[in-house]
Amino acid sequence: MVENERKDDNTGDSGGKSPKKLRVLLRTFGCQMNEYDSEVIRSILGQEGYTFCDSPQDADIVLLNTCAVRENAHRKVIGHIHALHHLCQDRPFILGILGCMAVNMEEALLANPALKIDLIIGPDSYRRLPELLARAAGSGGPAADTDFDISENYTGINPDRVSRVNAWVAVTRGCNNFCTFCVVPYTRGRERSRALTDILAETEKLAAQGYKQVTLLGQNVNSYADHATGFSGLLQAVSRVQGIERVRFMSPHPKDFPDAVIDAVAREPKVCKHIHLPLQAGNSRILKLMNRTYTQEDFLALVRKIRGRIPDVGLSTDIIVGFPTETASEFEDTVRVMEAVAFDSAFIFKYSPRQGTVAQKKYPDDVPEEEKTTRIVRLNAIQKGISLKRNSRHTGKTLPVLIEGLASRRSAREFQGRTDGNTIVVFPGQPGLAPGDIVPVRVTAATPHALKGETASP
Ligand code: 5AD
Ligand code: SF4
């Protein structure tokens, strides 16, 4: 899943009746699932009368919803904690660490007195936030709950969403894949699917609120199962909810990509023609060590099948360079697969060992840092050229674009939106247009990261 950091800046009063009306600053690191969880957290706290602010100086409580997927995600949070203490030296505040790092770093976080952590809560325990916050505020000593709860799907909670255009909707939580590099099975626990009826009810509510797009989230959405309904059935059902114009999903696993899902993407007009298909590595020996359970040939065959059914599909991927023992010639396989597939975009990462994973325990991190750098720089350069070529195929065409917002905070003149295939488009605003509208845009130029265009008549 794509990494980013977002500051939740809804400063509105959530309307409840807490005696103290404590103000909360909630910051989110990591993937879209974490963004969704932060919306769940906002809802849970809002119900109890907490209000939200966007500056540490105004906050009684600071909650960091953290990511543990790579070493730099972890370092970012630690840096953030030190900066907060520096900024708020003279003011006491309650500091809570939530999310993936809370689970896999609990002991280390609590053992470091300089971090002054009051609260540690894992992804299955957010319903206990009000109770544990009260405990942390009342007594000395930190409160913690990082237990897994396979039954926790946050049913009945109405996430307090930040975006008004796209709504994240978790369809599975947790992960059973145990890719050897990945910490997620240890931080989010075992995989579970939400009930189809819940997901549909949530989507209907979103449509009634005016949302145009939902993005179905899960660590491996293909393994969604509710009785007889698999992921293809779910996609079909969600895309037929009246009012929803676009349905996206993140991420499927290449190991089990059934024809029925390819067909659902091909057939359902509202399911966007974009698939994020994490390759991770192009060499079959490395894929085996990663426990990905597909080979280079399997992956290429899947891409051929997808492109055969959905010719203009947008494809994106995740790649890790420098997995333990990856040789220079095995890395060349990744280069070859990237060139052969020609993804529209790729997120490329240097391998970093994560505590508790099989790779960390079994395989020494033996590819030197400089070599990882050389490999990532090379892949990024290759991908830049491929992305430019892929994006250029749209030049001169008129494509429907869902407006997401302003292209930059400084200028109200340019909008940013996305094509069905997930390519970013920047174009001059027009009176009467607003985020959430789907407008035809004629593409006038392409860069590796985006298209430029102008609104056209339909
Ligand atoms: N090191 C580097 N990258 C990783 N990812 C997951 N775990 C690691 C790790 N230990 C990447 C994968 C995954 C994306 C979300 O993060 O490419 O798809
Ligand atoms: Fe998301 Fe994985 Fe990071 Fe957890 S560790 S926030 S699941 S990317």
CATH number at residue 8: 3.40.50.12160
Provide the pLDDT for residue 73: 86
CA nearest neighbour of 19 among 59, 41, 58, 50: 50
Position 150 in a domain = no
The residue segments making up the domain with residue 345 are 276-390
Question: How large is the average pLDDT for residues 392-396?
Answer: 97
Q: Residue 415 sits in a domain of what CATH number?
A: 2.40.50.140
Rounded to whole angstroms, the Cα distance separating 142 from 96 reads: 9
Question: How large is the average pLDDT for residues 71-86?
Answer: 91
CB of 98 closer than 8 Å to CB of 60:
no
Provide the pLDDT for residue 8: 44
Mark whether 190 and 313 lie in a shared domain: no
Position 21 in a domain = yes
Ligand 1 binding pocket mutation candidate from 181, 220, 343, 365 (most atoms within 8 A of CB): 181
Position 286 in a domain = yes
Ligand nearest to the CA of 175: 2
Question: Structurally, how many domains does the chain consist of?
Answer: 4
Helix 129-138 with 32-47: angle, nearest 10 deg:
70
Position 198 in a domain = yes
Mark whether 373 and 402 lie in a shared domain: no
Provide the pLDDT for residue 11: 40
Of the residues 344, 361, 390, the one at which a domain ends? 390
Mark whether 378 and 404 lie in a shared domain: no
Give 340-373 pLDDT, tens digit per residue: 999 999 999 999 999 999 999 999 999 999 999 9
Q: Which residues, listed in sequence order, are joined to residue 109 by a DSSP beta bridge?
A: none
Which atom of ligand 2 has the smallest separation from the CA of 33?
1
Classify residue 435 by its DSSP letter: T
Give 247-296 pLDDT, tens digit per residue: 999 999 999 899 999 999 999 999 999 999 999 999 999 999 999 999 99
- The answer to which of 8-12, 216-220, 316-320, 366-370 has the lowest mean pLDDT is 8-12
Mark whether 120 and 14 lie in a shared domain: yes
Position 109 in a domain = yes
User: Residue 413: is its pLDDT beyond 90?
Assistant: no
Mark whether 326 and 288 lie in a shared domain: yes
457 versus 252: which is more confidently predicted? 252
Rounded to whole angstroms, the Cα distance separating 101 from 9 reads: 22
Residue identified by tokens 């280069």 is 335
User: Residue 228: is its pLDDT beyond 60?
Assistant: yes
Of the residues 119, 145, 171, the one at which a domain ends? 145
Position 152 in a domain = no
What b/e sequence results for 400-423 when a residue is b if at least 16 CB atoms lie within 10 Å of its CB, and e otherwise?
A: bbbbbebbeeeeeeebbbbbbbbb
Mark whether 30 and 82 lie in a shared domain: yes
Name the band, by pLDDT with cuts 50, 70 and 90, for residue 13.
very low
Mark whether 185 and 245 lie in a shared domain: yes
Mark whether 35 and 118 lie in a shared domain: yes
Name the band, by pLDDT with cuts 50, 70 and 90, for residue 2.
very low
- The answer to which of 68-72, 331-335, 379-383 has the lowest mean pLDDT is 68-72
Q: Work out the number of other CB atoms within 10 angstroms of the CB of residue 139.
A: 10
Provide the pLDDT for residue 126: 98
Name the residue at shortest CA distance from atom 14 of ligand 1: 1
Position 155 in a domain = no
Question: How large is the average pLDDT for residues 310-326?
Answer: 97
Provide the pLDDT for residue 137: 83
Mark whether 314 and 206 lie in a shared domain: no
Give 98-112 pLDDT, tens digit per residue: 999 999 999 999 999
Q: Residue 234 sits in a domain of what CATH number?
A: 3.30.750.210
Mark whether 205 and 287 lie in a shared domain: no
Q: Residue 289 sits in a domain of what CATH number?
A: 3.30.750.200
Give 135-152 pLDDT, tens digit per residue: 888 876 789 999 999 999
User: Residue 408: is its pLDDT beyond 50?
Assistant: yes
Of the residues 347, 373, 390, the one at which a domain ends? 390
Provide the pLDDT for residue 207: 97
Is the full-model pTM beyond 0.95? no
Name the residue at shortest CA distance from atom 3 of ligand 2: 67
Pocket of ligand 1 (CB under 6 A): 1, 69-70, 181-182, 278, 280, 318, 320, 349, 351-352, 354
CA nearest neighbour of 437 among 421, 423, 416, 422: 416
Position 339 in a domain = yes
Mark whether 209 and 255 lie in a shared domain: yes
Question: How large is the average pLDDT for residues 293-312?
Answer: 97
Q: How far is the CA of 252 from the centre of ligand 1 (A)?
A: 15
CB of 216 closer than 8 Å to CB of 234:
yes
Mark whether 449 and 362 lie in a shared domain: no
